[in-house]
Structure 1
Amino acid sequence: MQAAVTGHVLTFTGTALVAVYVLDAEGAELRLAETVSSAGRPYALPARYLLSGRSPVADAFRTGRPLWLSPDELAGYGPGTPETDTAPGTPETGAAPGTAPGVSLGALPLGGDGRGLGCLVVVDEAPDGIDADRRGFLELYAHHVAAGLEAAGPRALAQPGCELPGLTPDRLRVGSFVLVLGTGRMTADPQVLELFGFAPEDFDGRVETLLAAAVPDDVPVLMSVLEPDMLTSGAAHLEFRIRRPNGELRWLGLRSRVETGADGRPRRMLGVVAETSYLRPSADEVSLVQRLSAALAGATTIRDVGRAVVGALCEPLGASRVAVAELQADQLVVGLLVPAEPGAWPEVWRSAWRSEWPEPPSHALPSLTEALRVGQVSIWPEGADLEPGLAGIGPGGLALLPLPADGRTVGVCLIGWERRHAFGPEERSLLTATAGLVGQALVRAHALDAEHELATMLQRSLLPRKVPELPGGVAVTRYLPATMGLEVGGDWYDVIPLTESHVALVIGDVQGHSAAAATIMGQMRTAIRAYAVEGHPPDVAVAHANRLLVGMETDLFATCCYADLDMEEGEAWLVRAGHLHPLLRHPDGSTEVLEIEGGPPLGVVADAEFPMTAAGLSAGTLLALFTDGLVESARLDLEDGMLRVRQALARADPADPGGVADELLGGVSHREDDVALLLLRYDGMRVRPTRAGWTVWRLPDAVMHTRRFTARTLRNWGVKEELDVALLVTSELVTNALVHTQGEVRLSLTLTADRLRIAVNDPSPRTPVKPATVDWEATGGRGLLLVEAVSQSWGSVPLSGGKQVWSEVALSFRREEPPAAGRGTTR
Structure 2
Amino acid sequence: MSTEGASAPASGAVRMPREWAGALARLAAGLTTVPSTALALETVAANCPLPGRVGWALLLTDDSGTHLFCSAMTGLDPAWAPPLRPLDTSGARAAGAAARGRAGQGGPGTAPYPVTGAPLTFAWRALPLHRPSGALVAVRPDGRGFGADEAALLDMVAEHMAACTARLTRPGDRAPDTRPRMRPLERGAFTLDLRTHEVECDRVVARMHGLPPEPVVPLADFLAPVPGSDLPPLRRALEEVSARQGDYQLSYRVRAPGGGHRYLEARGRAAGGSDGAPSSLVGHITDVTAEREDRSSRERSAGRRLERSDRMLTLTGALAHTLTREQFAESARQAATAFGADAVTVAEGERGQLHVVTAHGQPPEYVAATEGLSMEARTPLSDAVRYQRPVFCPSPEALVAAYPHYAAVVERLESRAWAAVPLSVSGDPPAGCLLSFKSADAFGAEDQALFVAAGALLGRALERHRAFRTEQDRALELQHGLLPSRLPHPSGADLAAEYRPAAAGARAGGDWYDALDLPDGSFALAIGDVQGHSMRAAALMGRLRTMMRAYLSEGHPPDRVLGLANRLLASDNDADPDGALLATCCLMRVAPAERNVALAVAGHPLPLLHAPGHAPRVLGHPPGPPLGVDAGARYPCGRCPLPPGSELLLYTDGLVDLPGLDPDKAVAGLLKALADAPEGSAREALDQIFESVRPAVPGDDVAVLLARLDGDGHDGGAAGAGRRRGASGTAPPASGGPS
Tell me the TM-score normalised to structure 2 length: 0.50
Tell me the TM-score normalised to structure 1 length: 0.45
